[in-house]
Amino acid sequence: MATDLFTHTVQHTLDVVGIFVFAISGALAAVRRNYDVFGMAVLAEVTALGGGLFRDLVIGAVPPAAFTDFGYFSTPLVATALVFFLHPEVERINVAVNVFDAAGLGLFCVTGTVKAHTYGLGLTPSVALGLATAAGGGVLRDLLANEVPSLLRWDRDLYAVPALVGATTVALLIRFDALDGVSAGLAALVAFVLRLLALRFHWRAPRAWHRRSAAAEGE
């Protein structure tokens, strides 16, 4: 089913684009932390491929695509070289990076959910793995940078929710037998737009009730 969704070339191109933009975000995080070129390459690889690697280990798709597809593996190295030589310029187009990152998020939550379901998992765990595919690389990036994963912080714009909405949409499409290239693309688009709106309007997720009232008192 997954292979019928898009033509292989389209799918592969979209994957490589998603990997590239995630890798840029990883390499930039390494520069901000003052890592050397090796740290940049490691963070680029981990950010771009970590989520899919986790998904593949869980569903038993070994060796994972990250290690069998040369394009997947080498793309983060290209991103690293780009950031290494041009990082002030890349920083300046931070808005563009955020837009590409949102596109990667939308794409990966869809392909991750589809791949997990193709390997026989139920719809709910497939949604969880779609979310893990989209957001897992960023969590690993933050762990390696010795920071609290921005996914978990309340003072960051919504990141998991758009991916969750996209993955859930895919699960519903599978459930009602309506998944095809167009509807999958629309699900990715929904996640993409939601993430852009969250960035634009600083949407945030609620914290536990008590915390919020305590914060309100503090204001």
Residues near its own copies (CB under 8 A) are 30-31, 33-40, 42-43, 53, 57-60, 62-64, 67-68, 70, 73-74, 83-85, 87-88, 119-122, 124-125, 128-129, 139, 143-149, 151-154, 160-161, 204-211
Comparing CA positions, the residue from 121, 112, 124, 132 lying closest to residue 184 is 112
Least distance to its own copies, CB of residue 133, Å: 13
Are the C-beta atoms of residues 63 and 73 closer than 8 Å to each other? no
- Give the pair of three-digit tokens for residue 14: 């979209």
Least distance to its own copies, CB of residue 82, Å: 10
Least distance to its own copies, CB of residue 181, Å: 26
Distance CA 176, CA 168 (A): 12
Is the CB of 40 or the CB of 134 nearer to its own copies?
A: 40
Residue 107 amino acid letter: L
Least distance to its own copies, CB of residue 182, Å: 29
Is the CB of 161 or the CB of 193 nearer to its own copies?
A: 161
Is the CB of 31 or the CB of 48 nearer to its own copies?
A: 31
Comparing CA positions, the residue from 162, 175, 159, 152 lying closest to residue 110 is 162
- Give the pair of three-digit tokens for residue 25: 């975000």
